[in-house]
Amino acid sequence: MVKAAKKISARIKILDAALSVIRTQGYAATSVDDLCFVAAVTKGAFFHHFKSKEDLAVAAAQHWSELTGGLFAAAPYHSHADPLDRVLGYLDFRAAILQGALPAFTCLAGTMVQETYDSHPAIRDACALSITGHAAKIETDIAEAMEHYGIVADWSAASLALHTQAVLQGAFILAKATGGPELAAQSIQHLRRYIVLLFTTPSKLEEIS
């Protein structure tokens, strides 16, 4: 156990360094030397564990998915009996974790995919999987809420779940542009209000077209 922990320590240290450094500086501006310095490992160790910088980025996106997956799986909002309360609880949880410095609450996948979507397909796909995989978990609760409340709509649970991720990603951009989480929190509140309206407004609204 101690042995195993020591064995993989350099790899994990590099991965953890990647999460914070790339969220701070972006992928392209982050050099392998930066990562090695922050992780306190040598370049030899880096290229022993990752065959290229791109390979590290893919692994970092997967590491990110695992970490955030654990964080949200352990979050308290799952205990609500009403699936709509779980969805709203998820948003409240997202708003609550807008604490500390910007790199601490922004999304690695959203940051990296902006820089790599055209030039590094492997990274793009890993980021896309991270985002859509997370959305899929929310989709379950949304689908249950739709059934529970008898919602028949021209939007799907999947599209609303992805919309929540769009709002969050956009909220992070506003936070970065303004230097603080205030606008991000407001955007999440707008999203929350939208979902409440969707589930409480007497169904048919054809005039939206």
Partner DNA sequence: TACAACAAACCGACCAGTCGGTATAAATTC
Partner DNA sequence: GAATTTATACCGACTGGTCGGTTTGTTGTA
Q: Which residues bind DNA (CB under 7 A)?
A: 3, 6-11, 30-34, 41-45, 47-49, 51-54
Q: Judge contact between 184 and 164, C-beta under 8 A.
A: no
Q: Is 134 in the site for a copy of itself (CB under 8 A)?
A: no
Element (H, E) at 11: helix 9-25
Q: Which two tokens stand for residue 51?
A: 């065959």
Distance of CA 51 to the CA centre of its chain: 25
140 binds, among a copy of itself, DNA, none (CB under 5 to 8 A by kind): none
Residue 168 binds which one of DNA, a copy of itself, none, with CB within 5 to 8 A depending on kind?
a copy of itself
Give the shortest CB-168-to-DNA separation in angstroms. Answer: 28
CA 10 – CA 15 distance, rounded (Å): 9
Task: Check residue 176 and give left, alpha or beta (phi > 0: left; psi -120 to 50: alpha).
Answer: alpha
Least distance CB 4 / a copy of itself (angstroms): 34
Q: What tokens does 60 get? A: 């970092």
Amino acid, res. 102? L
Closest approach, Cβ 28 to DNA, in A, equals 8
| Residue 37 near which of a copy of itself, DNA, none (CB within 5-8 Å, type-dependent) | none
The answer to whether residues 110 and 169 touch, using CB atoms and an 8 Å cutoff, is yes
Closest contact distance (angstroms) between CB of 187 and a copy of itself is 4
Where is 156: in which H helix or E strand?
none
- Residue 60 sits in the site that holds a copy of itself (CB under 8 A): no
Total Cβ atoms within 10 A of residue 179: 8
Q: Give the CA radius of gyration of the chain.
A: 19
Among 100, 118, 150, 152, binds a copy of itself (CB under 8 A): 118
Q: Quick one: what does residue 128 bind among a copy of itself, DNA, none, with the CB cut-off 5 to 8 Å set by partner type?
A: a copy of itself
Distance of alpha carbon 146 from alpha carbon 198, whole angstroms? 10
x/- map, 19-58, a copy of itself, by CB under 8 A? -----xxxxxx-----------------------------
Question: What letter does residue 118 receive in the DSSP assignment?
Answer: T
Binding positions for a copy of itself, rule: CB under 8 A: 24-29, 102-103, 109-111, 113-119, 124, 127-128, 131-132, 155, 159-160, 162-163, 165-171, 173-174, 176-179, 183-184, 186-187, 189-190, 192-194, 196-198, 200-201, 205, 207-208
